[in-house]
Structure 1
Amino acid sequence: MSWRTAYRSFYYETMNGDDIPDIVLDPEKTALLVIDLQVAYLPEATPPHATPADIAEWHRWAPFRERMTGTVLPATQRLLAHFRGTQREVLFVRIACLTKDGRDRSLSHARPGFNNLLLPHIGADSQILPQVAPLADEIVITKTTDSALTGTNLRLLLSNLGIRNVVVCGIFTDQCVASTVRSLADESFNVIVVDDACAAATDELHRAELTIINNIYCQVLTTDETLSALNPA
């Protein structure tokens, strides 16, 4: 299925895909933004002395880990190779608090349950996954919010770099990716979300969120479609 007809919400299901202009991304004005691909979210094994509940949770997240290792990380590596090979801007954002007890976190990262994200910035779990680690001169932004624009200087950095188009990949589609995409769109950046380089906890959540944000806040493309837009024939 083409990006012209994929992920149509109720608002756009009657739109004629042929009326949508081709997507052509000026490489000099386009940056890759990699969101929250951190060690904490891809553990290699259950924790030491795992309880039955820990083991059950490990199995519950198995489909997510499979998508990450089989789809998201390889797609992200392709995007990184292209942007680096053409000497274009690559930026990373990560969730990391500046205090050990996380007292500087936003409320959305301090609620009970999954979103209680205590990831001190010097800890191993808060670092970018080694499979997609930033190079020495690539910008890494630390945030304690879902949107990478809230409370950071990302907008200023993109402006200083002359960026108008932002290609977004990472996790979680329905949380930090979506929040960042909405903020970028509200700041009048043209946003591409790369379907196979993103993941939510479940495929159902991933697809539902892409359906919500597509066509209004961004355009959802595959890695192949994104690379084609960066290299029009």
Structure 2
Amino acid sequence: MLTTREKFKSFYYQDDVFPEIKINKSTTALLIVDMQNEFILRDFGEAQQFKDAGVWERWIPFHDRLDEIVIPNNVKLLQHFRTRHMTVTYGRIASLREDGADRSAVQKSDGWNGINLHVDSFAAQMIDELKPHKNEIVVNKTTDSVTTGTNYLQLLRNMGIKTVVVTGIVTDQCVASTVRGLADDGFQVICVEDCCAAGSMALHNAELTIMNGVYCNVLNTDEVLELIDSSAE
């Protein structure tokens, strides 16, 4: 049976043997990206817009994956981090001005990526299943990447973090740009395949294959849990 890293092995790495992954619990952080009411709930936000526009049918597989796979696995991983007193962080799309004037150009653009979620709105909050606890850091972004236009990288360095475990949505946009930003800045990155989703499985699988081995190690939830439990303090 193929490991997740082998499953998502790209053209460039077909002849390579991936090295063993080593982490330390005290220097590893979880980062949950954009798991917000606006994007997740079926009777609110984007889902309601899709229904009103008559295109809901093509988004049902995405929401099925969220409800049946991505949310339960994020909950499982989050609880694992919390019970082991490991660092938990969040990145979310949230503007500081109600008119969204502080947003980056990409989030002022027309179409699906044109987003304005005020920081205090219900839409901007993380879903109830993944609601942050006290002392868990939430970084507000008006960009796709959590690392661009925020102080997230500095916060990680201040806390001595060396490895970041990334989950969330969507795989080929905000997750991917965040993974690349972390990797380019020198962090070891793990992207959790079954804690992420894209608009289609084709996009999800393609992006993970592109990133695996160069920007991150792609693992599944059970592999990450095993890695944590076998790691040094």
TM-score normalized by the length of structure 1:
0.93
In structure 1, the residue matched to 2:8 is: 7
Establish whether residue 114 from structure 1 lines up as the match of residue 120 from structure 2. Answer: no
In structure 2, the residue matched to 1:214 is: 212
- Would the aligned equivalents of 1:46 and 1:58 in 2 still touch at CA under 8 Å? no
Listed as ranges, the matches of 1:98-137 within 5 Å are: 98-137=96-135
Quick one: which amino acid aligns to residue 6 of structure 1?
K
CA distance in 1, matches of 2:23, 2:189: 10
CA distance in 1, matches of 2:181, 2:214: 12
CA distance in 1, matches of 2:159, 2:50: 50
In structure 1, the residue matched to 2:178 is: 180
TM-score normalized by the length of structure 2:
0.93
Which digits, 9 at most, give the CA deviation of each residue in 1:143-171, with x for residues without a partner? 00011111111111101111000000000
CA distance in 1, matches of 2:50, 2:204: 28
% identical aligned pairs? 44
- Would the aligned equivalents of 2:192 and 2:219 in 1 still touch at CA under 8 Å? yes
CA distance in 2, matches of 1:98, 1:120: 6
- Would the aligned equivalents of 1:169 and 1:198 in 2 still touch at CA under 8 Å? yes
Cα distance 1:156–1:56, how it changes in 2: closer, same or farther (>3 A)? same
Listed as ranges, the matches of 1:1-233 within 5 Å are: 1-15=2-16, 17=17, 20-45=18-43, 54=52, 56-232=54-230
| Counterpart secondary structure, 1:61 | helix
Q: Aligned-residue CA RMSD in angstroms?
A: 1.7
- Structure 2 residue runs of 5 or longer lacking an equivalent are none
| Counterpart secondary structure, 1:125 | coil
Cα distance 1:21–1:9, how it changes in 2: closer, same or farther (>3 A)? closer
- Would the aligned equivalents of 2:5 and 2:212 in 1 still touch at CA under 8 Å? no
- Structure 1 residue runs of 5 or longer lacking an equivalent are none
Which digits, 9 at most, give the CA deviation of each residue in 1:61-109, with x for residues without a partner? 1001100010001110111111000001000110011111111110111
Quick one: which amino acid aligns to residue 27 of structure 1?
K
